[in-house]
Amino acid sequence: MQSNPWKPNRQSELPLHVQIERHIREKIAGGEWPAGTKLPSQRRLADAFGVNRSTVVTALDELAASGLLEGNRGGGTRVVSGAWGVLAAAKSPDWNAYVRSGSHRPNLPAVQEINRAEFLPGIIRLGTGELSPELLPQAGMQRLLRTMARRTSPSLGYGEPGGDPQLRELLSARLRGLGIQASPRSILIVSGALQALQLISIGLMPPGSSVLLERPSYLYSVPVFQSAGIKLRGIPMDAEGIRTELIAPYAKTSGGALLYTIPSFHNPTGLVMSKQRRSKLLEACAEISLPVLEDDVYRDLWLDTPPPSPLKALDDKGLVLYMGSLSKTVSPGLRIGWIAGPEPVIDRLADLKMLTDYGSSQLSQWAAREWLASGMHEEHLDKLRRKLTQRRDAAAALLHKHFQGLAQWHLPAGGFYIWMRLIEPVAPRVLFEEALRQGLLLNPGYLYDPEAADCLRLSYAYASPEELKQGIPILADLVRHLSGQAM
């Protein structure tokens, strides 16, 4: 979404529908809307332009009559294949064909819509998986950057393939505190955990193989492995985590080459894998020599008690690759994460990273290094845990008040998420659209498991307490109405 979207000028002598018609013509003529582009629905266009729907209809009818658009009025209007030729003598390339032919899969349509809607003014983001700006250490980071600027200058050139050496030293020490032995040489700095997943998908996984993972899982919502020709095979969970007795048979039947897991404050369920289950997971994977990718980005966000030791700390056979990040605790904008693993693996991934972006931002690594070295990180985590605890408890109280008899959930011990299962069926797409009309942005459960259409991922990390207090009752009324339980 544009921060300042175009709107017709109501002070102009030109009628509103003529201004809209000319605006769309310019989009087509300039190549922004090439042949085959599907226009937003009439309702969305009317909302975006701040006009009545009838005004939009008039403009679209004129464009259709000019041979620029075709389709029906129910949201299926597209730019015709010869539209650009109507406006100019030269022939436009079929950019939509190029878009469709790219090897990397696009985001799911619902994810694309969520990404656009997150920046609508006045929207309450009830499912967003990041910290609210008010929970980020803005003041502390500003003070630190000012001090750094007076004391030293950052490198403005390229860095080492593995990342800033001093940052890797600091991370090595922090990992030792978790029981993980990882020298700086066996740590790679990446531009967020998502880049780590992409590097692993193209650098370590054979095409046609499968990744085993918990079901539901965050990994279903991002087409990283699928774009590399790799399948996802979900394994059911229980209250202690992934069902480890199913790992070997699932690996055998699906060609499993890697197990991906989020054992601490799982996304989206919020579950913590028990200590006993972690040991069983490593035993099951060791028996079939199955590597494990441990995503531990939520570890520091414990609210009641710290989670059990990482899988990597229990690993004495070299099975586990370990991922961490500052995105969930300090700043998603820094784009700083890391992978710890065997040196040959780190070398391979570092080489691929150099081919991809020639190393993570030196400025971001500089800021992350100074932040971790300053001692401010621990102070920030203490404050953050207190504030997240307050938000979690407030969200839980609101759910208890408004969703009794409508849904089931459990209180997470940390992380961001409450996984809520609706008792009575509600069409998830209808619920999403109706909520959006009332200013609520949801994360439907089917993003994380195709069979979880009756679930929602709620987050207490982004919406403010006031927004939670406003939004949760609205959501409950919608669920009650759509499920036929309205009084």
pLDDT of residue 94: 67
Sorted by where each starts, the structural domains of the chain and their CATH numbers stand as: 16-102 (1.10.10.10), 124-129+379-482 (3.90.1150.10), 138-374 (3.40.640.10)
pLDDT of residue 90: 46
Long-range contacts of 201-207 (CB under 8 A, 24+ apart): 201/225, 201/227, 201/228, 201/230, 202/228, 202/352, 203/348, 203/349, 203/352, 204/258, 204/345, 204/348, 204/349, 205/230, 205/257, 205/258, 206/257
By residue count, the chain amounts to: 487
Of residues 449 and 155, more confidence is placed in 449
pLDDT of residue 198: 94
Convert the pLDDT of each residue in 236-280 to its tens digit: 999 999 999 999 999 999 999 999 999 999 999 999 999 999 999
Q: Quick check: 4 pLDDT over 70?
A: no
Token reading at 392: 């979690």
Q: Quick check: 62 pLDDT over 90?
A: no
- Strand order across the beta sheet in which 407-408 lies: 407-408, 417-422, 455-459, 443-444
The confidence band for 124, taking pLDDT boundaries of 50, 70 and 90, is very high
Q: Quick check: 143 pLDDT over 80?
A: yes
CB under 8 Å to 454, separation ≥6 — which residues?
421, 422, 425, 426, 428, 445
pLDDT of residue 29: 79
Report the phi/psi class of residue 50: left, alpha or beta, with left for phi > 0 and alpha for psi in -120 to 50: left
Alpha-carbon gap, residue 282 to 278, rounded angstroms? 6
Arithmetic mean of pLDDT, 381-387: 97
Q: What sign results for the dihedral spanned by CA atoms 100, 104, 109, 115?
A: negative
Alpha-carbon gap, residue 264 to 306, rounded angstroms? 9
Q: How many CB atoms neighbour CB 379 within 10 A?
A: 12
What amino acid occupies position 30?
A: G
The confidence band for 146, taking pLDDT boundaries of 50, 70 and 90, is confident
Arithmetic mean of pLDDT, 24-45: 85
pLDDT of residue 70: 87
Of 167, 416, 195, nearest to 299 (Cα)?
416
- Percent of the chain with pLDDT strictly greater than 70: 93
CB under 8 Å to 404, separation ≥6 — which residues?
none
Arithmetic mean of pLDDT, 133-138: 95
Instruction: Supply angle C-alpha 41, 47, 48, rounded to 5.
Output: 90
Alpha-carbon gap, residue 367 to 152, rounded angstroms? 12
Q: What sign results for the dihedral spanned by CA atoms 278, 280, 281, 283?
A: positive
Indicate the range of 42-51, 63-72, 269-278 predicted with least confidence: 63-72
Token reading at 482: 């759509």
Alpha-carbon gap, residue 451 to 216, rounded angstroms? 9
The confidence band for 174, taking pLDDT boundaries of 50, 70 and 90, is very high
Indicate the range of 3-17, 85-99, 420-434 predicted with least confidence: 85-99
Q: Is residue 277 within a helix (H) or strand (E), and if so which, with residue range?
A: helix 275-287
Arithmetic mean of pLDDT, 30-35: 82
Convert the pLDDT of each residue in 365-377 to its tens digit: 999 999 999 989 9
Is 342 in contact with 360 (CB distance < 8 Å)?
A: no
pLDDT of residue 106: 73
Q: Quick check: 83 pLDDT over 60?
A: no
Is 47 in contact with 9 (CB distance < 8 Å)?
A: no
Indicate the range of 85-94, 140-149, 343-352, 410-419 predicted with least confidence: 85-94
pLDDT, the chain, mean: 91
Indicate the range of 332-336, 394-398, 418-422 predicted with least confidence: 332-336
pLDDT of residue 1: 40
Q: Quick check: 180 pLDDT over 70?
A: yes
Of 126, 467, 132, 131, nearest to 301 (Cα)?
131
Arithmetic mean of pLDDT, 20-40: 86
Convert the pLDDT of each residue in 280-294 to its tens digit: 999 999 999 999 999
Q: Quick check: 81 pLDDT over 80?
A: no
Arithmetic mean of pLDDT, 230-239: 96
pLDDT of residue 34: 84
Alpha-carbon gap, residue 276 to 263, rounded angstroms? 12
The confidence band for 447, taking pLDDT boundaries of 50, 70 and 90, is very high
